[in-house]
Amino acid sequence: MRILIVEDDANLNRQLAEALKESGYVVDQAFDGEEGHYLGDTEPYDAVILDIGLPEMDGITVLEKWRGDGKLMPVLILTARDRWSDKVAGIDAGADDYVAKPFHVEEVLARIRALIRRAAGHASSEIICGPVRLDTKGSKATVDGVALKLTSHEFRLLSYLMHHMGQVVSRTELVEHMYDQDFDRDSNTIEVFIGRLRKKIGNDLIETVRGLGYRMQAPGNGN
């Protein structure tokens, strides 16, 4: 899962980025509204953390531009605690949720998890596919109750496939959501990670759809 943080406070931006990375997310960072708008307009994100009070272009304008251009990624806005008008303006501009400063980073992480789950059609913090259980809160996965030992890349891949169960996901889409903007991306490595995952969770859960990509679903759930 790939997250964009748009926050001009360098320390807060860094704290959020570190916490998200520790939870298994890929993170891109922007420190003003223009940079944030550009990244959100040109890169695919599973969710965005957007500060309202930004230099160059304020957060409300950034959000309105994204929504006006048809960008649908979930957006969590950061507002000042005593500015209820910012919260209203943010929701009206297309925000999906908000957190007032100062806040606990754990609350932001919980709200981001919820936004990503809901966007993918999942209500619970636990996503199940046959014998595989993904604990989005604890960033852990099990097979038949046994903890899976996964690298960070394997976990990101499994998480994305399980959030999008039953859907065909292309290699390009997987690459775009597994690596940040500065990473030297190679879609061929996806096949390697798919092979590793199959050995750990079973070959029958991840289907190769020739010419299109991959689809994860429990046996017997195919069309």
| 105/131 same-domain check | no
Residue 179 has a pLDDT of 78
| pLDDT category of residue 181 using cuts at 50, 70 and 90 | low
Give the pLDDT of residue 150: 93
- pTM for the full model? 0.83
CATH of the domain at 60: 3.40.50.2300
Same domain? 81 vs 16: yes
For 149, list phi and psi in degrees, rounded to 5: -95, 105
The answer to whether residue 185 sits within a structural domain is: yes
State yes or no: pLDDT of 118 exceeds 70: yes
Could you tell me if 135 and 170 lie in one domain? yes
Q: Phi/psi at 72 (nearest 5 deg)?
A: -110, 0
Residues 193 and 166 in one domain: yes
Over residues 57-85, the pLDDT tens digits come to 999 999 999 999 999 999 999 998 677 88
Q: Does residue 170 surpass a pLDDT of 90? A: yes
Q: What's the total number of domains in the chain?
A: 2
Cβ count near 2 (within 10 Å): 23
Q: Note the pLDDT of residue 115.
A: 96
Assess contact for 35 and 41: CB atoms under 8 A: no
Q: Is the pLDDT of residue 19 over 70?
A: yes
| SS3 at position 56 | coil
187 and 142 co-located in one domain: yes
Flag whether pLDDT at 8 surpasses 80: yes
Q: Is the backbone peptide bond immediately before 55 cis, with ω within 30 degrees of 0?
A: no
**CATH number reported for the structural domain that contains residue 172 in this entry:** 1.10.10.10
3-state helix, strand, coil in the chain (%, to 5): 40, 20, 35
Res. 129 pLDDT band, cuts 50 70 90: very high
- Is residue 98 within 8 A of residue 77, CB to CB? The reply is yes
Residue ranges of alpha helices (H) inside 94-213 are 105-119, 152-163, 171-178, 188-201
Pick the last residue of a domain from 120, 142, 174: 120
* Residues spanned by the domain of 40: 2-120
137 shares its domain with 114: no
Rounded to 5 degrees, φ, ψ at 42 are: -115, -15
- Distance of alpha carbon 130 from alpha carbon 44, whole angstroms: 29
Instruction: Name the token pair of 184.
Output: 């030297």
SS3 state at 97 = strand
Sign of the CA dihedral with 14 first, then 17, 22, and 28 last:
negative
